[in-house]
Amino acid sequence: MKSFPPYRVQVVREIPITTRPEREQALSEAGYNMFDVPAGKVTIDLLSDSGTGAVSAAQEAAAAAGDRSYAGSDSYYRFRHAVDDLTGFPHIFPVHQGRAAERILFSAVLAPGRISLSNTHFDTTRANVELLGAEARDLPCAEAADLDSMDPFKGNIDLAKLEETLAGPEGDRVGQVLVTITNNGGGGQPVSMANLKAVRELCRRFGVPFFLDAARFAENAWLVIQREPEYAGQTPKAVAQQAFELADGCVASLKKDAISPMGAIVGVRDPELAKRCEVNLIATEGFRTYGGLGAHDLERVAQGLREVVNPDYLRSRTAEAAHLAGLVNEAGVDIVQPPGIHALYLNAGRLLQHIPPSGFPGHALACEMYLAGGIRCVELGSLYLGEFDEEHNLVSPAPFELVRLAIPRRTYTEAHLEYVADVLATIAKNPESVPQYRVVEAPPLLRHFNLKMRKA
Ligand code: F0G
């Protein structure tokens, strides 16, 4: 039986329909930087699944009734109840978004010269490690290097390398192990429970704290249920609870799997660590019972955390991504296999073989999707991960040239996704017509948000 979303549309927002000349002008005025294109010029926005999902009537009703008391508001207790129920961490701090959680936790754990090990640090996560003078080191599993393989858990951390590092001469410099579920920087692939259990054992053995970056905890749990036989038949909530149970703490942006426009948490077990986080929280985000959030956000999060673990919701969201993956493949475009849930990662390097890494095939494909169809998405390739010299020439390319199509939660219909695949199919029929790009301006940190490009 075909799965369908367990909700119906109640409030809608019009989307802009533009002409090609309008899009050419908008993209050129943005310096060919997708982050500088006004949303009012974007028809289908697949830039991010963060804070972009549709909220439910129940979330909005709860938000309207939010209690704005400065300390200990009713909204805080409802938020705490939902978060405690799921994560079990004794110390929970609300913050305004994931990167604030990273800053607060990492500044209590890391220091100059320390190392953070991860399956893959997300870009703000890496920046928050590096801003503390520490080193962010990614140890993705070997299976992740084969984009076409159907291995079910390509988000796993490489356990042999993790053990080698912890046991080796740099072992005493490792300040934390952070596993990102699902692995957004690594093709949106899930991490198995077996991998998390093994990480926990290694971290115990070497006395290093083990944290989760749990932004997409529910989607990871759903993929575990589908792909890890031991967990078949369990509920998404039960699997997520077991994942949190394994860790010493977490950072989690709630803009993804709490389906909230804003919000995040830091969760920890160690009371001493909690105290250090709390001082920083109160000084920089807000009092411990609201962090950086308003009552309405605390309420939306509390309700969203209940809705996201509904199996019918996760089933239909997964089917949506799989449907788009099928259409994209029919269009002749390869993706990182197997498809995950929050995004598809297009293999732009393979599609645009006439463009070398120095001409940024991923960026070229993203620009073409915007120009041809008003679709916004972003490159994850050499522009994002490569190394550049001072004249902005690429000196070391990324291993892959990808484009991420992020799928906002509960937002687009099948017809929208079919339109995306149609646009891609048109480009794939004549890939040689897609031009290369050059970097005009690029800052050293968080480059892809702020760069300016031109057609080569
Ligand atoms: N960790 C992961 C795995 C993320 O994907 C993100 C954000 C963050 C941390 C930071 O959270 O945005 O609330 O500050 N990812 C968004 C994305 C921006 O589009 O993938 P934030």
Question: How much is the mean pLDDT over the chain?
Answer: 97
Residues 435 and 366 in one domain: yes
Band the pLDDT of 448: cuts 50, 70, 90. Answer: confident
Alpha carbon of 22 to ligand 1 centroid (Å)? 30
Q: Are residues 314 and 258 in the same domain?
A: no
Do 242 and 177 lie in one domain? The reply is yes
Is residue 447 pLDDT above 90, yes or no? no
Going by C-alpha positions, the residue among 129, 212, 208 that lies closest to residue 166 is 208
Q: Measured between alpha carbons, how far is 336 from 188 in angstroms, rounded to an integer?
A: 9
Both 299 and 338 in one domain: the answer is no
**% of the chain exceeding 90 in pLDDT:** 96
Q: Domain for residue 14, yes or no?
A: no
Domain that holds residue 395: 20-49+310-455
Q: What is the pLDDT of residue 440?
A: 94
106, 225: one domain: yes
Contact 217, 253 (CB under 8 A): no
The answer to whether position 7 is within a domain reads no
In the chain, what is the straight-line distance between the N-terminal and C-terminal CA atoms, in Å?
A: 49
The total number of residues written for the chain in this structure: 456
Q: How far does residue 426's CA lie from ligand 1's centre (Å)? A: 31
Indicate whether 5 belongs to any domain.
Answer: no
Q: Which of 255, 344, 376, 377 to mutate to test the pocket of ligand 1 (most atoms within 8 A of CB)?
A: 255
Domain with 41 in it: what CATH number? 3.90.1150.10
Q: Which residue has the tokens 């794939």?
A: 428
For residue 13, being part of any structural domain is answered with no
Residue 50 Cα to ligand 1 midpoint, Å, equals 7
**Whether residue 344 sits in one domain with residue 302:** no
- Residues tagged active-site: 70, 122-123, 213, 215, 256, 448
pLDDT computed for residue 263 by the predictor? 98
> Which of these three, 277, 308, 339, is where a domain ends?
308
**Which residues have CB under 8 Å from 394's CB, separation 6+?**
357, 358, 382, 386, 387, 388, 439
Nearest residue (by CA) to ligand 1, atom 2, is 122
Query: Which run of H or of E encompasses 237?
Result: helix 236-246
The 3-state DSSP class for residue 437 equals: strand
Q: Do 300 and 325 lie in a common domain?
A: no
- Identify whether residues 182 and 66 lie together within a single domain: yes
Q: Is 169 helix (H, G, I), strand (E, B) or coil?
A: coil
Cβ-Cβ contacts under 8 Å for 159 (sequence gap 6 or more): 141, 195, 198, 199, 202
Q: Which pTM does this prediction carry?
A: 0.97
- Average pLDDT value for residue range 195-214: 98
Q: Which two tokens stand for residue 327?
A: 């259409």
The verdict on 314 and 426 lying in the same domain is yes
Q: Domain total for the chain?
A: 2
Tell me if the bond preceding 408 is cis, omega within 30° of 0.
no
Judge whether 129 lies within some domain.
yes
Question: Which residue, by CA, sits nearest to atom 21 of ligand 1?
Answer: 98
Of 250, 285, 308, the position where a domain reaches its end is 308
Pure H helices in 285-413: 295-308, 311-330, 348-351, 361-373, 382-385
Question: Given a cut of 80, is residue 445 above it in pLDDT?
Answer: no
Ligand 1 atom 12: the closest Cα is on which residue? 98
Residue with tokens 């300390």: 71
Residue 112 has pLDDT above 80, yes or no: yes
pLDDT surpassing 80 at residue 233: yes
432 CA to centre of ligand 1 in angstroms = 34
Residue-wise pLDDT tens digits, 274-302: 999 999 999 999 999 999 999 999 999 99
Q: Determine the average pLDDT of the residues in 349-354.
A: 98
Considering the chain, what percentage of its residues have pLDDT values greater than 70? 100
Mean pLDDT for 421-433 is 97
The token duo for 237 is: 């909530």
CA-based Rg of the chain, rounded to a whole angstrom? 21
pLDDT bracket for residue 267 (50, 70, 90): very high
pLDDT of residue 446: 78
What does the pLDDT read at residue 268?
Answer: 98
pLDDT at 120: 96
Residues 177, 304 share a domain = yes
Q: Kindly state whether residues 192 and 150 are assigned to the same domain.
A: yes
Among 50, 182, 285, 341, name the best residue to mutate to test ligand 1's pocket (greatest count of ligand atoms within 8 A of Cβ). Answer: 50
In a domain, 2, yes or no: no
What does the pLDDT average to over 222-237?
98
Closest ligand 1 atom to the C-alpha of 185?
3
Long-range CB contacts for residues 331-339, cutoff 8 Å, separation at least 24:
331/421, 331/422, 331/424, 331/425, 331/428, 332/425, 332/428, 332/429, 333/424, 333/428, 334/147, 334/148, 336/147, 336/154, 336/187, 336/188, 336/189, 336/402, 337/147, 337/148, 337/149, 337/150, 338/150, 338/152
For the chain, the helix, strand and coil percentages under 3-state DSSP, each to the nearest 5: 45, 15, 40
- In tens, the pLDDT along 136-178 reads 999 999 999 999 999 999 999 999 999 999 999 999 999 999 9
Which atom of ligand 1 is closest in space to residue 342's alpha carbon? 20
Cα of 431 to ligand 1 centre, how many Å? 31
CA–CA separation, 136 vs 129, rounded Å?
Answer: 6
pLDDT of res. 337: 98
- In this predicted structure, which of 117-126, 161-170, 194-203, 439-448 has the lowest mean pLDDT? 439-448
What CATH number should be reported for the domain holding residue 131? Answer: 3.40.640.10
The strand ranges marked E within 167-248 are 174-180, 210-213
Question: Looking at 308, 337, 369, which one is the last position of a domain?
Answer: 308
**Burial state string for 167-191 with b = 16 or more CB within 10 A and e = fewer than 16:** eeeeeeebbbbbbbbbbbbbbbbbb
11 located within any domain: no
Q: Which of these, 358, 365, 370, lies nearest to 432 by C-alpha position? A: 365
ipTM of the complex as predicted: 0.99
Name every residue whose Cβ is closer than 8 Å to that of residue 300 and which is 6 or more positions away in sequence: 55, 59, 60, 62, 63, 258, 259, 260, 261, 263
Q: Is 12 a domain residue?
A: no
Statement to judge: residues 303 and 324 lie in one domain: no
* Ligand 1, residues at Cβ distance < 6 Å: 48, 50, 97-99, 122, 124-125, 180, 184, 213, 215, 253, 255, 264, 406
